[in-house]
Structure 1
Amino acid sequence: MNAFCHHIKRSKWNLPPSPPEFPIIGSLHQVGELPHRSLQRLAERAGHVMLVHLGFIPVTVISSKEAAEEVLKTHDLDCCSRPKLVGTKLISRGFKDIGFTPYSEEWKERRKFLVRELFCFKKVQSFGYIREEECNLLVQKLSESAVDQSPVDLSKTLFWLTASIVFRVAFGQSFHEGQLIDKEKVVELIFEAETAQASLTCSDFFPIAGLGWLVDWLSGQHKRLHDVFFKLDALLQRVMDDHMHPGRSKGDITDLMLDVMHKQGKDDALKLTLDHIKVFLTKRLIFIFKLNLDTGALTMIWAMTELARNPKVMKKLQVHIRDHFGNNKERITEEDI
């Protein structure tokens, strides 16, 4: 029956080839803990463009340079929207984050706002004092460790440097201050939110007739997702309440977004709401966690590791910096670079 249905669909739509599949579950049983490797093995048999069914959901898998260029460049507008997953929908409050909003006029307006108001060169430069203060604090701590001859976990130190910079820019508060936010609890919550957003549920694979939802409810997955959402929302609401306090000093990204929201008119195309702001801040929190594995901290960690392993290269770098900036300069600023 499954093969017969596939034959009908292929004759009508000329779909890509598929690997052997079971009825109902499709190719789910062939996808392991490393999905990209599992799909690669299937593609070696079915081809660089193949159709697999993950439960009731058809998925087209692209695994060649030519096919990827066709999809991501030639047919970008048809393929640029992301799949609507249960975890993503909950954490992004109904796909209000720019990364998950389907391509539309609403997406265009939101992207314009972010580029114009938040990520422009002028705005990035305005937060230069935060980067300088956090770097100075790091140098001070390293100096104290050198005097005490105590070891320094460079990976953790650089992670907290980048995290604190992003946190201050977004929330106006350093990780080290701990007035509204407990650092350890925030890290745990960020990990839970990232896991919830990236996780796949039975509802994603079997959305018909509530079958997947029932399995998620019985397994506790439904409750786990909502528990993370409510904890995250409580944290963000505390941040919102603090930023709307009359006596608070202004200046971070949250203040800017709240100001735009309060000043916009009824006919404003942006239609910015508190949910949009909370989703944006959620992404900043997740971004902070991913810095531990992403380019910001990771690049510095590997650069320092290689310099420590190669004294000649470190000496060459020191000579180059001193020749360029002089021996009397204690600190190199962004303006110098």
Structure 2
Amino acid sequence: MSILIYFLWLLLLFFVTITFTKKFQTSKINLPPGPQKLPIIGNLHNLDGLLHICLQKLSKTYGPVMKLQFGFVPIVIISSNKAAEEVLKTHDLDCCSRPETIATKKISYNFKDIGFAPYGEEWRALRKLAVIELFSLKKLNSFRYIREEENDLLVKKLSEASQKQSPVNLKKALFTLVASIICRLAFGQNLHESEFIDEDGMEELASRSEKLQAKFAFSNFFPGGWIIDRITGQSKSLEGLFSELDAFFNQVLDDHLKPGRSVLESPDVVDVMIDMMNKQGGEGSFKLTTDHIKGIISLYHYHIL
């Protein structure tokens, strides 16, 4: 049954592609050069091996500004300093929003974070919140002792391992350092003593999140691609990952909302956002919600990667 659905889906895509091709054949838009594309898949057949190396090879043939098409999604590849300056400076407002993908939309609570939110009023409000309240110089200096303590702890562990001449998993040690700093300054939780944050579990969750977002999803490039993602299990994997992340973020929020919880002299990032959410009035169209808080927490989670 699933094979029949797959075949019918491809057949539908074929007819849709033919229609779109005929519609845009007469277009006079001056598009950048690029390799010949195939029906339905576009230039996906040109991607062989590591993506950045493949794009570099193609740019040597088609120039620093090159157009590809992944499925039904047109993509412009920039690979020179001059072209990058044109995009990032001259046409910044037209190009500053990140591409919307199924994974980033789900995990960022429908783009409620700063990293993936499209440019607009909500993004500007979140950026103002980040600059003034979360990442200000005063705030960063107030957490200096956390960075120093965790770095001292790492140096102590490495020194002890050196004296014993025992091997050290440097990747795991550096992950623990970054995760410990972020958990303390963002979540108010000591990774080594927390009741609900497991170091190995967090590392495994971060690794799965990174791999899933890098994985190819038909929904991002084909209309109706969610059918294939359902068949391949991609949708189920994303839902499972989001469920685990959401449970973790809810635990962080619940811990901060406990009655009688004492806020430290330097409140963590979640404390600051909860306080702002409780104090916001009726003025202004932007309202900070728990989804915004969890979206911003997810941004810290990505820093652990």
TM-score by length of 1: 0.78
Q: Which residue does 2:89 correspond to in 1?
A: 73
Q: Give the stretch that moved more between structures: 181-190 or 264-273.
A: 264-273
Assess if the C-alpha contact under 8 Å between 2:32 and 2:66 holds in 1: yes
**Matched pairs, number:** 284
1:263-300 C-alpha deviation (Å, 9 max, x unpaired): 111324541111111111112122112xxxxxxxxxxx
**Aligned-partner SS, 2:189:** coil
Letter in 1 for 2:74: P
Q: Which residue does 2:131 correspond to in 1?
A: 115
Structure showing greater Rg: 1
Q: Which residue does 2:249 correspond to in 1?
A: 236
Q: Which residue does 1:288 correspond to in 2?
A: 304
Identity of paired residues, percent?
51
Counting only pairs closer than 5 Å after superposition, residues 242-261 of structure 1 correspond to structure 2 as 242-250=255-263, 251-261=267-277
Letter in 2 for 1:242: D
1:171-192 C-alpha deviation (Å, 9 max, x unpaired): 1112211311111111111112
Structure 1 residues 218 and 153, CA, compared in 2 at 3 Å: closer, same or farther?
A: closer
Ranges in structure 1 where 5+ consecutive residues have no aligned partner: 290-337
Q: Which residue does 2:144 correspond to in 1?
A: 128
1:208-233 C-alpha deviation (Å, 9 max, x unpaired): xx2x0111111111111010000100
Distance, in Å, in 1 between the alignment partners of 2:226 and 2:166 is: 53
Letter in 1 for 2:253: M
Aligned partner of 2:294 among 278, 281, 301: 278
Q: Which residue does 1:8 correspond to in 2?
A: 26
**Aligned-partner SS, 1:8:** coil
Structure 1 residues 126 and 38, CA, compared in 2 at 3 Å: closer, same or farther?
A: same
Letter in 1 for 2:26: I
Q: Which residue does 1:41 correspond to in 2?
A: 57
**Aligned-partner SS, 1:25:** coil
Structure 1 residues 154 and 201, CA, compared in 2 at 3 Å: closer, same or farther?
A: closer
Deviation of 1:98 after TM superposition, in Å, equals 1.1
Distance, in Å, in 2 between the alignment partners of 1:171 and 1:73 is: 35
Counting only pairs closer than 5 Å after superposition, residues 205-224 of structure 1 correspond to structure 2 as 205-207=221-223, 210=224, 212-224=225-237
Assess if the C-alpha contact under 8 Å between 2:184 and 2:190 holds in 1: yes
Letter in 1 for 2:249: L
Moved over 4 A (4+): 1-6, 142-155
Structure 1 residues 243 and 81, CA, compared in 2 at 3 Å: closer, same or farther?
A: same
Assess if the C-alpha contact under 8 Å between 2:176 and 2:199 holds in 1: no
Distance, in Å, in 1 between the alignment partners of 2:105 and 2:202 is: 21
Q: Which residue does 2:113 correspond to in 1?
A: 97
Q: Give the stretch that moved more between structures: 231-240 or 121-130.
A: 121-130
TM-score by length of 2: 0.86
1:195 aligns with 2:208: no
Q: Give the stretch that moved more between structures: 217-226 or 15-24.
A: 15-24
Assess if the C-alpha contact under 8 Å between 2:146 and 2:185 holds in 1: yes
Distance, in Å, in 1 between the alignment partners of 2:146 and 2:61 is: 53
Q: State the superposition RMSD in angstroms.
A: 2.1
Assess if the C-alpha contact under 8 Å between 2:209 and 2:241 holds in 1: yes
Q: Which residue does 1:163 correspond to in 2?
A: 179
Deviation of 1:46 after TM superposition, in Å, equals 2.5
1:56 aligns with 2:69: no
Distance, in Å, in 2 between the alignment partners of 1:224 and 1:68 is: 35
Distance, in Å, in 2 between the alignment partners of 1:137 and 1:46 is: 51
Q: Give the stretch that moved more between structures: 181-190 or 269-278.
A: 269-278
Structure 1 residues 268 and 193, CA, compared in 2 at 3 Å: closer, same or farther?
A: farther
Assess if the C-alpha contact under 8 Å between 2:115 and 2:299 holds in 1: no
Structure 1 residues 180 and 74, CA, compared in 2 at 3 Å: closer, same or farther?
A: same
